[in-house]
A = this chain, B = another copy of it.
């Protein structure tokens, strides 16, 4: 599940770390877009779902809030985050800045074993697409980027990117135009080829274009469609101004 390579820092997560378990479960559910933006994450409900107390649930929700994919409102509870267009632009700006550089490092550093793993990953992506397993396809698609970050060797940036990709999932869920998965596997294959050739010029450029393509599929700019209405509804049907 790739999270091994991007853990929160403690390596001793055997079976006792309940917090981590439900944190990952919610994280995955958000990435796979099973939990739509704005969904209420009641402490009691979440706790019951995983058979843990509110203490654990709470810690997990707070951690996710720190990662930016959950919003906590005082005395109201936790919700799956609903990034506004401005935040969406900032997330993409951050990715455009960080990922090409990570890709260049990866192009330099990638070993034969890394490439083999990437190949296997691409096959899994293709397979998921082939059998119309959209959830798996989306998750693997995002994981591909994380694997590159992982190869680059900078754990600090890789960690940051992990949060950014999760937020991207939310952004795509809200503003995505096409119902296709987040990334095309073709561009991933192209990236793989460049990495395999250790092309330190081409690979970052390919990543940049790839990100541009993802962002181009978004419909930022005008009103976020149902988002504003939904917000109004959720906050008590009080019309904001007019």
Contact = CB atoms under 8 A, between A and B. Distances in A.
Given A62-B63, A101-B97, A9 B156 contact: no
Given A156-B91, A160-B160, A62 B65 contact: no
A222 interface: no
Interface residues of A, number: 31
Interface in A81-103: 87, 90-91, 93-94, 97-98, 101
Given A59-B62, A66-B63, A87-B155, A94 B9 contact: no
Contacts of A97: 97-98, 101, 157
Nearest to A12: B74
A206 interface: no
A72 interface: yes
Nearest to A101: B97
Nearest to A155: B90
A67 B67 CA distance: 10
A8 interface: yes
Contact of A94 (B68, B71, B91, B157): B157
Contact of A154 (B63, B68, B93, B155): B93
A73 interface: yes
A242 interface: no
28 contacts: A8-B66, A9-B68, A9-B72, A10-B72, A12-B73, A16-B74, A59-B62, A62-B62, A62-B63, A63-B66, A66-B67, A68-B156, A87-B156, A90-B154, A90-B155, A90-B157, A91-B156, A93-B154, A93-B157, A94-B156, A94-B157, A94-B160, A97-B97, A97-B98, A97-B101, A98-B98, A156-B164, A160-B160
